[in-house]
Amino acid sequence: MRNHHHTHIEFTGTMISLTQTIRVARPIDECFDYAADFRTTPEWDATAYKAKKLTEGPVGLGSRFAVRCRLPLGSIELLYTITEFEPGQLVTLQADSWLFSAVDTIAFEEDQGQTRIDYHADFSFKMPFAALEGALKSGMQGMGKAALRGLQRALEDNNSAPQISSGSATADRLLWPGLAMFSKWGYRRGRKRWLPMSASLKGKRMIVTGASSGLGLATARELAQRGAELILVMRNPERAEAVVKELSAETGNSAIRYELADLSLMADVDALAQRLLEDGKPIDVLVNNAGALFNDWGQTSEGLEQSFALLLLSPWRLTRALHPLLKAAGQSRVVNVVSGGMYSQKLRVDRLEATADNYAGATAYARCKRALTVVSEEWAKNWASDGIVVNAMHPGWADTPGVETALPAFHTLTRFILRSPEEGADTIIWLSAASEAAGVSGKLFLDREPRTTHLLSRTREDPAERVKLMDYLDAFDAAQKAVA
C-alpha cells in the first residue's frame, strides 16, 4: 500500500485548518460517489459511529447528513450540508454542532491513472469554547490524519474474505452464547470488526424477492441507495407501486422496478423467470428473501404444502431457471435467506412436505430452511466454474411484520432484544455488495461471518441424504413440468 499523504495543520487563532492529500488506484467517479456520501463516515473515520442522510433524493447539492462522533467525553452530533457539488470534481460540506463548525472541501483529480483526493477542513470553535483551540489542536491533527488514512483504506477496497473469529466459534460450540448472538447484541458485537464496503454497485443488476416489507425492504433500500439496478419481486401490485415510488424518491435511484409474482405458486415463479430470460440481461445478484412461517397447515392452489412451496421449491426453481443469466454476468452471487430456526432440524427429505396431521409451523419452516442451506452448499460446488457464488445467511432475530404476525408471543417476549430490520438485513446487503464477499461460496453467514451449519451434533445428515434432497427436488421439477 502506498502512503502518499502529507498533512499540515495551521493554527490561525480563530480557526484550525487541516490539509491532506491521498491517492487511490480507483476511478474518480467511484471515489467521488463514496466520499461525497457522508453516510459512509463511520466506515473510515474512527470518531464517527453513526451517520444518516436526512434529505430525500440522490446525494447532491443541499443533501444533509447527521453524523454522530465520539468525544473524549460523550459524543456529539454534527450536521453536514453539501454546499458545493460538482460530480467527479469537488464537494464541499458545511458542518455544524454546538461545539464547533467546520467547512470540509474535498477535491478530486485524475493523476497518472490514480485518483488524487485533496481534503481541506477549517474548524472554528464556538464561543466560549474558542479558548480550547490551542489545547485541542494536536488531537484534531491526529484525528484528521487517521480519518484520511481510513478513507484511503476504504477506497482501496482490498479486504480479504472473512473467516470465523475464534470468539464466534467458541460461542457456537457452547450453544447458548451462539443463540444470544441472534439478538441485537450479536449485531453490535459483530459490527466492531466490520470493514468498509466501498464497492460501486452502479450498473449491477440485482433481484430481491419479498421486498415489500421487513428484511427485503431494508435490503432494497440500501442497495438502491448504493446505486444498484433493482428488480423487486412482490405479489401485491399496489404495494409494489408504492415501494418503488418510495425508494426512488428517497434515494434518487431511477433504475428500480418491480415484478409481480406469488412465489408460492410455481406457475408464477416460472412466468417470472420466463420474463427475465426473455429480457436476457445478465443478473449480478439474486436475493431469495421472500418467506413466511405458516402456523396452520395449508396447500397452495397448485396442491403443494405451502411452507415447502414458498420456502424451498420456489427459490430452488427460480434460481435454477435464472442460472443462464447468473452465468452470463461472469461473476454473480446468490444469497439465500434462511433462519437460525434450522439449527433445530436435521435434513429429512421424506418430511419436507408436511402433512396435515401433526403439522407444526415452526418445524416445517425450519426443515425447509435447513434444506435450502444444503441446496446452497451444493449449488456453490456445482456452479463454481460458472462464476456463481452461492451463500446462505440468517438474519438473527429481527423485528419485522413477519415475526410479529407469525410469532406474536415470541415477539412480545423478545422485542427488546430484537434487531431492527436494517440490522437483520445487513449481511444480505454485505453478501450482495462487498467486493470480498465475491470470494466466498457455500457458507452460512451471520453478521458477515461464516458460521457453523450445526449447533447440535444430532442434526448432522448423511452425505446420502444430501444426494436424496437434490434428486427429490429434481424429480419434483420434472413432475411439475410434465403436468404443465
Ligand X SMILES: NC(=O)c1ccc[n+]([C@@H]2O[C@H](COP(=O)([O-])OP(=O)(O)OC[C@H]3O[C@@H](n4cnc5c(N)ncnc54)[C@H](OP(=O)(O)O)[C@@H]3O)[C@@H](O)[C@H]2O)c1
Nearest position to ligand X, beta carbon: 214
CA atoms within 13 A on the CB side of 420: 6
Q: Please, which of residues 224-243 interact with ligand X by CB under 6 A?
A: 235-236
Instruction: Write the DSSP string, 10-47.
Output: EE-SS-EEEEEEEEESS-HHHHHHHHH-GGGHHHH-TT
The answer to the question of residue 391 lying near ligand X (CB under 6 A) is no
* CB burial readout 77-90, b (16+ within 10 A) else e: ebebbbeebeebeb
Q: Map residue 419 onto helix, strand or coil.
A: strand
The residue from 28, 31, 36, 310 that contacts ligand X (CB under 6 A) is 310
Q: How far is the CB of 341 from ligand X (least distance, A)?
A: 6
Q: How far is the CB of 417 from ligand X (least distance, A)?
A: 11
Among 424, 448, 461, 476, binds ligand X (CB under 6 A): 424
- Considering only residues 186, 196, 210, 361, which one is a binding residue for ligand X as defined by CB under 6 A? 210
Q: Which of 337, 362, 434, 440 binds ligand X (CB under 6 A)?
A: 337
Helix-strand-coil split of the chain, %, nearest 5 = 45, 25, 30
CA distances from 328 to 285, 332, 386 (A): 12, 9, 9
365 is catalytic: yes
Out of 196, 291, 361, 442, which residue is the one contacting ligand X (CB under 6 A)? Answer: 291
Grid-cell match 491532506, residue found? 20
DSSP per position, 266-287: HHHHHHHHHHHHHH----SEEE
Contact between 414 and ligand X by CB under 6 A: the answer reads no
Question: Applying CB under 6 A, does 451 fall inside the site for ligand X?
Answer: no
Residue the block writes with cell 431511477: 254
Q: Is residue 373 part of the contact set for ligand X (CB under 6 A)?
A: no
Chosen residue from 168, 200, 319, 339 binding ligand X by CB under 6 A: 339
CA gap 112, 432 in Å, rounded: 32
Stretch that binds ligand X, among 43-51, 320-328, 399-407, 435-443 (CB under 6 A): 399-407
Gap between the Cα atoms of 375 and 385, Å rounded:
17
Q: Binding to ligand X (CB under 6 A): which residues in 103-122?
A: none
Chain centre distance of CA 7: 34
The interface region with ligand X, picked from 172-180, 199-207, 284-292, 463-471 by CB under 6 A, is 284-292
Q: Which of the residues are catalytic?
A: 365
- Give the footprint of ligand X on this chain (CB under 6 A): 210, 212-216, 235-236, 262-264, 289-292, 310, 337, 339, 394-395, 397-398, 400-403, 424
